[in-house]
Amino acid sequence: MNEKEFLYPRRLSPAWWHESRKNRALFLMLFPGVLVLLFYNYLPMFGIIIAFKNFMFHDGNFFTSLFKSEWIGLRNFEFLFKTPDAYVITRNTLLYNLVFITSCTIISLAFAIMLNEIRSQKLSRFYQGSMFLPYFLSWIVASYLLYAFISPDKGFINTTILKSLGKEPIAWYSEPKYWPYIIVLINGWKWIGNNCIIYLSSIIGIDQEFYEAARIDGANRWQQIIHITLPQIMPVIIVMFLIFVGRIFNSDLGLFYQVPRNAGMLYPVTQTIDVYVFNSLMRMGDIGMSSAAALYQSVVGFITILAANYAVRKIDPDSAIF
């Protein structure tokens, strides 16, 4: 070994070894996160084969049970799609999400613009704080807040409002016809404040020179909103839209399970894919059916999120996630 090689031994080792030594500290930093992702995200991805098996616990551990369980191909899916549930849960998930996306986007944007237009900063901050409050509360708390209003025997609406109007009390938790509205309202109540603040913070970030130039040209406030504010925050609107659309096959279990208090009579209008999977897994212990529904959701969700991202990339490449 000559002196030069002794001093620079990196030549003796392969390039990747040198590279990883150089980045050792950075790899160490990534390590805990990689571990969490591997165990809680990647391992379950391989677990999707459960959906193609008649999964049963044999003696021994989970893996041996998994391998011993019989392959049944698509039979779990056949069972799932033969039930009327499959159609109902898909329809509910998609329709609610479509209504949520449009209503939340429009109302949050409108509130953000209003907050930006009103003259008093102090009042604006008070409104922002109040609107943001529901975002901080859990769905279980939200379900209690709703219950305080619509409890059949003690709720504020039945005992105070309807009574003073001389109307009969309504059995809210067994009347499916009201629930599509209640669900949409509660969802808006929870999310509008948060979305509104995201829009507002990007409105505040718009360069004031645009507005000054418009004023010199004699544009009024309304024209300024249409021609400056909206186009300027379009990228943010598109990104938020992408996030929503990509998750169109997902539903918030808290909203659809906790808020209607899992009332069976309301299932036709409140059961979404997530509620169905949760109920059949945790209550019935039906692994076959629930794993089929869960995989159906993952796969279709994967396609929608790729499609949504592709669409955004066409419109505004800078706003795409990848």
Partner 1 sequence: MRKEQADFNRLSAVSGKTNAVLNIILLGYALICILPLILVVAVSFTDETTLAIHGYRFFPEKFSLYAYEFIFSTGSQVVSAYGITILVTVVGTLLSILIMALYAYPISRSDFKYKNFFTFFLIFTMLFNGGMVSTYLIGVNILKLKDSMWGLIFPYLMNAFWVIILRTFFKTNIPDSLIEAARIDGAGEFTIFFRIVMPLAVPGLATIALFATLQYWNDWFLAALYINDPKLVPLPYLLYQVQTSMQYLLQNSSNIGGMSGDILSKMPSEAARMAMVVIGVGPIVLTFPFFQRYLVKGLTVGAIKG
Helix 139-150 and helix 179-204, axial crossing angle in degrees, nearest 10: 130
The only residue of 182, 228, 248, 277 in contact with partner 1, by rule CB under 8 A:
277
Q: Which is nearer to partner 1, 2 or 220 (CB)?
A: 220
| x/- letters, 138..167, toward partner 1 (CB under 8 A) | xxxx-xxxx-xx-x-xxxx-xxx-------
Q: Which is nearer to partner 1, 26 or 226 (CB)?
A: 26
User: From the CB of 280, what's the least distance to partner 1, in Å?
Assistant: 9
Instruction: Tell me if 171 contacts partner 1 by CB under 8 A.
Output: no
Residues 144, 188: Cα–Cα separation, whole Å: 17
Residue 104 corresponds to which amino acid? C
- Which part of the chain contacts partner 1 (CB under 8 A), choosing from 67-75, 90-98, 171-179, 202-210? 202-210
DSSP 191-257: HHHHHHHHHHHHHHTS-HHHHHHHHHTT--HHHHIIIIIHHHHHHHHHHHHHHHHHTTT---HIIII
The only residue of 88, 219, 237, 265 in contact with partner 1, by rule CB under 8 A:
219
Instruction: Tell me if 307 contacts partner 1 by CB under 8 A.
Output: no
- Of 67-106, binders to partner 1 (CB under 8 A) are none
Instruction: Tell me if 231 contacts partner 1 by CB under 8 A.
Output: no
| x/- letters, 5..44, toward partner 1 (CB under 8 A) | --------------x---x-xxxxxx-xxx-xx-xxxxxx
Q: C-alpha distances in angstroms, 50 versus 73, 197, 277, 290, 299?
A: 10, 42, 14, 10, 14
Question: What b/e string do you get for 275-284 counting C-beta neighbours within 10 Å, with b at 16 or more?
Answer: bbbbbbbeee
